[in-house]
Amino acid sequence: MNELEVRELRYFIAVAEELNFSRAAQRLGMAQPPLSKAIARMESRLRVRLLERTTRQVRLTSAGQVLLDQARIAVDAVHAAARRARRAGQPTPQLVVAVKPGGDAGLLGEILAAYRGAGSHLPPPEVVVGGSGEPIAMLRDGRADVALLRSPFDGRGLDSQTLLVEPRLAVLPAAHRLAGRRRLRLTDLEGEPVPRWKGAAPSTTAYYTGYDGAGAGAGHPGSAPADTPEGPLVSSVEQLLEVVALGQAVAFLARSTTERHQRPDIAYRPVTGLSPSAVVVAWSETSRSAAVATFVRVAHDVAVQQPDHMTALA
């Protein structure tokens, strides 16, 4: 038999992430020899080399990289299943909705009202507001049942439905040399430092720096210019705006976010060729919850009634 246990997957993830058996063993709270033997048994059982070992370094093979990607998903799924089971067995279960500030484009209040009106048999909603990267983490590990997210995001193991698409605007210091223009092009901003969002996956970097929009289309990140300077690391819109106001970077934000954060020291300008921002409702692809299905349905119904629903794609 070549089935792997969750314990073995945890061992392999630690080694693959540390690329050092001593550090991985310390992280796992175990001695190094049994860890090395466990990895060797996995390779023997799978009949494939997972790691290339020398006296100086440990490297993942192509098979090891595949197992690392799949092992993370599998371990997350096991943790999520346990959490969801515990929450479902509570005397008063709730539907946990995760969102970050500004991540709902103003839709959440109407969605919650529609959900509550859909039937008294449904578990009451509990909204958890988290920082950058937290809503999707909560969805993956079972702490949340549904999440409102901004695209792009890592959709592995999730189902999702786009609710609303809106333009993004450039965020500039009010004294910036381009702030006096009514409309910009992406090329106007080349060479400007751009903040990096804490927790953003590397695959979404082009989107957050704004350079996925020129000829690529929404949701298809391209490449930022090679000389794009990295601005400060930020974890909230408020922090991003301070960075911009101080002249340390320029940024890109969804229109609904800019409308809620008007400041005299900040200028918002439309940008030709900049891809839009999508608000998405997401849930586990294994979910069979009637409450989740109801939430998704009413979220869609609320979104299609918005006057500018999907206008950024027109």
313: left (phi over 0), alpha (psi -120 to 50) or beta: alpha
To 5 degrees, how large is the angle CA 237–CA 185–CA 178? 70
CATH number of 110's domain: 3.40.190.10
- pLDDT (tens digit per residue) in 28-62: 999 999 999 999 999 999 999 999 988 788 999 99
Q: Is the pLDDT of residue 260 over 80?
A: yes
Residue 153 lies in domain: 93-164+278-313
Residue 235 shares a structural domain with residue 299: no
Residue 123 shares a structural domain with residue 40: no
Residue 97 shares a structural domain with residue 232: no
Beta strands 194-197 and 230-234 are parallel
Residue 40 shares a structural domain with residue 75: yes
Mean pLDDT of the chain: 86
Biggest alpha carbon–alpha carbon distance for the chain? 68
Residue 209 shares a structural domain with residue 249: yes
Confidence at residue 210, expressed as pLDDT on a 0 to 100 scale: 56
Instruction: Among 85, 103, 120, give the residue marking a domain's end.
Output: 85
| pLDDT grade for 213, boundaries at 50, 70 and 90 | very low
Residue 172 shares a structural domain with residue 158: no
Cα gap 306→220, rounded to integer Å = 25
Q: Is the pLDDT of residue 173 over 90?
A: yes
Please state the pTM of the whole predicted model.
Answer: 0.71
Confidence at residue 250, expressed as pLDDT on a 0 to 100 scale: 94
